[in-house]
Chains A and B, each alone.
Chain A
Amino acid sequence: MKGRIIIAAMTLAAIFVAGCGSSSSSTTASSSTTASSGTSNTKCTASIAIEGPFTGPVAQVGLEQLHFAQLAVANDNAADHTNVTLAQDDTQLTPSIATTKTQAIIASPAVAVVGPSGSQEVEAVGPLLARAGLAAVSGSATLPALASSGANKTFFRVVPDDDVQGPQDANYVVNHLKPKAVLIVDDDEAYSQGITKVMIPILTKAGIKVDHQTYNGTDTGATLSSALSSLVTAHLTPNVTVAILPWQAAANAQQFGLDAQQQHKKVILFGTDGTNSPSQFHIPGTYISTFGPDISSSTNPMDKAIVAGVAKYGPYGAFGVPTYAATDVVMKAIASVCKAGQTPSRSNVLAAIKTTNIPAAANVLGEPIAFTATGNLAGSPGYLFHVNSAGKYIEIPPK
């Protein structure tokens, strides 16, 4: 009897802990709804969802996205007198989890989705969202095929795709870093493999010897240690002066750099947007390309207000800036539907998003936002940063 009581107590404790884990923490909630902070009392009421990795190895950047989305909802609710609520769906950057979360969103009253964050997730859930007529606006999914495949008919993105970023990055390596040989390592995910596929032909055509390797980006702990140190040991040969790391886990890129330092390998690291996390990846001399600007030191009043405003939700990180723009697109579409005297629904919000036309001055990214027929951003540059000796990201102005 006593034993059974102990087991029962253990079970209750387990349920309590599990319950706490999914309800009290915003980072682990599944479809948990954040109350809108708008002051509106109008009838323009709607709910939207954000899909991103709020836990797991890339939670750092996912939380940045979440915080910017929360700020955008609050700001736009106040500005447009709407009452939009934001549900959070943690995908852990895993397609199978994203699929489950998306099915829950489809079953919910949400009229649009911000995200998903990763290209591999959009690959998995894009057709589901399309069938449900649910618009998804991502601030970070850059695989070109997401738009060109025709499978994701309700997918939009506010960032340039890898066909823009990849060639820019590869050409920068060719023209400025001038290596004889490069190591390029993908992390076995759609985004990473996509950008690698775009870069390799440009590097090869320029006469650069390319060593292409793959590692499992979801590895952790001892297994990750083994994978990264082995890559450094076996593939950073004296000829290789540049290592391109189009990864989604900035901390892994940092560890790769530290391993290279420990093994006295002299190499310039080149990360792409997934590694854009100054707090996690800051090996001096590194280059990091990304799809959004760093507005942390901008003097533009709108940028300053956003940088100050996001502090209410969490620390500033440049990776989240495009998600502010993505959320803004959704919020403006809902507001326009209401202004037209309609009740926000999936179909009219989708139609409004298709005709988005936000001028550069009103967009935190500093570029106008309009979408092509396939949901791509119509014309936008990529951004490049150099990490100085103090580990700070310095933007390299476009030439």
Chain B
Amino acid sequence: MQVFIQTVVNGLTTGCLYALIALGYTMVYGVLKLLNFAHGDVYAVGAYIGYVVLQIFGGSTALTIPVPLLLVFMFVAAAGGCGFLGVAMERFAYRPLRNAPRIAPLITALGISFVLENTILLLFGGFTRSYNTNAYISSSNGINIGDLHIDTVQILIFVLTAVMCLGLKLTVDRTTLGKSMRAVASDREAAEMLGIDVDRTIALTFFIGSALAGVAGVMTGLAINQITNTMGFLAGLKAFTAAVVGGIGSIPGAMIGGIFIGLCESFSASYISSQYSDLIVFGILIATMLIRPQGIFGQRPLQKV
């Protein structure tokens, strides 16, 4: 039972990360019908921005500011940096191709992915960089119930993910920006005719999605300590799977899909073998496409006659 509960905790931790990345995929798909395959690398950029902030404030063993303040700076810098990166990507790479055949922005997204990956390589070198989280956040702190342990970083991930998902849901449901996003997602041309600034709405969508990925990058650095320039590739694919399973274009779908994929991965690693976790995750993707292509929360497109 203890193993089961700890596996759930591990799965939720990973699932939260996938959920945050998946939100970016699903939001961008919602407004542009674009699979932004560079999104995983935006997540990696976020991890590196967090690392840079850590170094600016003295590094893991000689911090010059209190840890809570450091975390705030890391998350804000990563969210802001990645948000603006997302806006720049949209402005200079995707917007000029908005009316091009759909394969063009897709290939561009792959190209941007490689550019981001190699830019990190150029700036930070090829070897693993370490957050060395244990030096400033004790792993023994947290919640202990018997052998079950939920450490401070995991609690931080759960709370922050919940807050951001809730905030995003409220933004989409109850604000003018959210209404604009839904209108653009529903029918871009009609939204434009109604006076909605489509370019601005799409740019803000990229900003929010990329900011969430940046926060997930910092969370990963804190949770796993090590970051590499290639870390975004597989995480991006898993998050994409999560978005598809949840129903691409659906925000609750991305959240639930992320958690579901995280739990699947964790349970397969604990009870079968981590060797097979990728097989299981991508098997789920194929099964979803065959059985329910619109995903858990997705809706079948209306047949107009």
Contacts and interface: CB of A to CB of B under 8 A. Distances in A.
Contacts of A214: 273-275
Given A21-B119, A21-B122, A215-B274, A225 B3 contact: no
B60 interface: no
A226 B269 contact: yes
A145 interface: no
A249 B226 CA distance: 11
Interface in B198-245: 216, 220, 223-235, 238
Interface in B118-133: 118-119, 121-122, 125-128, 130
A229 B149 CA distance: 12
A222 B3 contact: no
Contact of B6 (A55, A57, A263, A280): A263
A231 B6 CA distance: 11
Interface residues of B, number: 62
B111 to A, nearest CB: 6
Nearest to A64: B127
B228 A255 contact: no
Interface stretch (A6-14, A167-175, A334-342): A6-14
B274 A230 contact: yes
A17 B118 contact: yes
Given A220-B231, A227-B274, A280 B118 contact: no
Given A56-B126, A222-B224, A17 B232 contact: no
Interface string A58-77: 01100100000000000000
A216 interface: yes
Interface string A115-136: 0000000000000000000000
Contacts of B149: 262-264
Contacts of B265: 223, 226
Contacts of B126: 27-28, 54-56, 59, 63, 90
Contacts of A252: 226
B275 A188 contact: yes
A59 B144 CA distance: 37
Interface string B252-289: 00000000001001100111011101100000000000
A93 to B, nearest CB: 11
Interface string B18-57: 1000000000000000000000000110010000000000
B128 A251 contact: yes
A280 B275 CA distance: 24
Contacts of A56: 126, 228, 230
Contacts of A226: 10-11, 13-14, 262, 265-266, 269, 274, 277
B191 interface: no
B6 A6 contact: no
Nearest to A213: B273
B187 interface: no
Interface in A27-51: 27-28
15 contacts: A6-B92, A7-B96, A18-B114, A20-B122, A25-B121, A28-B121, A55-B126, A59-B125, A220-B230, A221-B235, A222-B224, A225-B14, A226-B269, A229-B10, A230-B274
Interface of B: 3, 6-7, 10-11, 13-14, 17-18, 43-44, 47, 92-93, 96-97, 111, 114-115, 118-119, 121-122, 125-128, 130, 134, 139-140, 144, 147, 149, 151, 216, 220, 223-235, 238, 262, 265-266, 269-271, 273-275, 277-278
